[in-house]
Every structure is written in C-alpha cells, then in structure tokens.
Amino acid sequence: MMVVAVGSLSYFGWQITQQSIAGTDVVQVQETAQATAAGLKVGDAATLKTRAYDRESAANSQVAATLYVEEWNGQGGGVGDFQLIEDATAMSASAATSTATSVGAHLKVCSFDSTYYGNCDEVLVAKETKPISIDSFAHVGSGSTAVKLTLYDSGSALTVNNLTLGSGQTDALDYLRLEVNQSNKAFNFKMLAFDLGATNNITNIEAAGNLAFEGLSGASGSLTESSVVPRRLRSALDYVFIVDSAIMLHEWEVLKTSSLSFQAESGQNPYEDLTIYVIDESRFKSVQGATANRILVGVETDADSAADVGASDQTLTLSLN
C-alpha cells in the first residue's frame, strides 16, 4: 500500500518539478527508471492516512476534528484545478483516517470545524511513510468571558467602561487589553471594530498602531484601518482595523492595542453607547464561483448569507457622555 510523503525535488524515483504558469504554481510529477524498477507508478492506488492533534491540550491529544482534502487534477490555473476528495469528514480520536488517492497526487490536507482552528499541509503522494499529523487548536467558542476584554485609562483598568467626551472634543484611552480567559483554548485575533449605534455623534475613531504581545510564542503585528467590513456586520460596524497576519493567542496570553482615540461632533455631545468588536479568523469551505469547494481563510464564510467562522465575536460596551 502506498501512502503519502511530503514532496521534494526528487523523491524515491519521481522527478518533481514546480513552475509558474500564468502566475499559478504547477507541480509536475514524472516517473523515472528508479520508480519503474521499484514497481511504483504515477497513478497507482494509494492511501492517505491522517490524524489531528489538539496542540492547546497539555497532552497534545488526538481529536475527532473535521477533515478536508483537496486534490490537484493537473489542469493548470483556473476553475477545476482542485477537487475535494474529503469533504467535512469526521475524523477518529484514536485511529488514523484513511483517504483513497493515487501515487503522484498533489494534496492539500486541512482540519477545522466549529471547535478547532486547524492548519493545512500540502503533500505529494510518493512512498510509504507515517500518517500525516495536522495541528489543531481548540478555540474559545462562545461566551462573554471567553476572551477577557479590559479598557485602560491613565495606567489603570477601568472598573466602569465610561469616557466623558464633550462637544467637539477628542480624548483617548490607553489601550484595549485582550486575554484568553480559558485554559487549553486559543483565539486567532484578526480584527478590531466599532459599532457607533444609530444616533452616536462620534465623528472619528483612531486605533491604528503596533500591538503589544505578552506570551511564549513571541507574536507581533500592528493594526491598520480598513474599508473592508464583514458582510454579516455591515449594518453595524462603522470603523474597522485589521492585522495583516492573524495572531494566535493561546491560554492566558495577552494582546494590547495602541491608544484608542475618539472625537465628538462639534455642537453635540455623544450620548449613545458604542460597541467594541474583537473578531477572529478561521478556515472555511468556499461556495462561490471560481473558489467553490476550495479551503479559504477569513472572518466569515463567503455564502450568500455570510456566517461567522471560528470562535464567536467578542464584544465590549463603552459608554460615552
């Protein structure tokens, strides 16, 4: 039985080359005399074996996550390059999950669902080896305290989330502090956003700047203002700030924003509470056009009625007066 190995330029009798065609990386696998002598031919039946492990648990436990496998069909760039040969398959928490494929196939193996963030591995079916291990990360799920959100002003945590802001005035809070408030859980931070409500008189919010990280993984990043608003929240969000690459916060790790600045309209005082959103990023299966059935990454699905992915949005209310 043939199973999957990570590909390289020359591997057990196959010559594997990669080139760019119309901006698309294309992997080609050619048989050599060595492969023929060994009785291994491109296209022969093979089996992919996959296990998923929760890297948030102290024991790195194998988990029954959900498996997706894309197989490249060699047609070049465009629609139809990949097909799903595993589509939301429930994995085992003890045994390896087997997927029928073929020698020489180029695969993208992913694991994610409503409980776990998961990585994707790209592999070439080449020779007998150990099962593929996919890193998964149990996320915080839902709940108001899943990620602890705390506003700081003048060096201290606010006990009451209130900011006094008169007509035409600008004032700032020190920062917003995010902490994963559950053991063995993660939050993949991507976006900070603000909902002003229907009658709030705030005319500008500034939250761009470097993020301060406290944790073992040494993450870093900065927030920049974005005009891209999640479709499911278009009627709510007024200001959006994103980090280029999502930052995975693990148990008890902390992320601090730069200062949060608020400006009120001249002639009127703000009098309606605003809501701060902290939004994560996760993988999802696309259903639209050229990317249909591909595994993508984002803060929501691309379905006509976009849905949240990963953990639930985390929110905090700030009162302005």
Do 49 and 80 fall within a single domain? yes
Output the pTM of the full model.
0.86
Domain boundary among 138, 159, 184: 138
Do 187 and 130 fall within a single domain? no
Domain boundary among 138, 172, 191: 138
Do 49 and 162 fall within a single domain? no
The number of C-alpha atoms within 13 Å of 159 and in the hemisphere containing its C-beta is 0
Domain boundary among 82, 112, 138: 138
- Residue 16 sits in a domain whose CATH number is 2.60.40
Rounded to whole angstroms, the Cα distance separating 42 from 236 reads 53
Rounded to whole angstroms, the Cα distance separating 238 from 269 reads 18
Do 73 and 109 fall within a single domain? yes
Residuewise pLDDT in 10s, the chain (321 residues) = 444 444 333 333 333 333 332 333 333 344 444 444 456 688 888 899 999 999 999 999 999 999 999 998 654 444 457 789 999 999 999 999 999 988 888 899 999 999 999 999 988 887 555 689 999 999 999 877 899 999 999 999 999 998 888 888 899 999 999 999 999 999 999 999 999 988 788 899 999 999 999 988 788 899 999 999 999 999 999 999 999 999 999 999 999 999 999 998 887 766 678 999 999 999 999 999 888 999 999 999 999 999 999 999 999 999 987
**Straight-line distance from the first to the last Cα atom of the chain, in angstroms, rounded to the nearest whole number:** 70
Do 116 and 225 fall within a single domain? no
CA angle (236 as vertex; 230, 240 as ends), nearest 5: 55
Do 40 and 152 fall within a single domain? no
Q: How, if at all, do strands 314-320 and 162-163 pair?
A: parallel
Do 180 and 305 fall within a single domain? yes
Do 20 and 45 fall within a single domain? yes
- The tokens for 239 are 């200001």
Q: Which domain holds residue 212?
A: 147-320
Do 128 and 231 fall within a single domain? no
Give the residue from 258, 295, 300 showing the smallest Cα distance to 280: 300
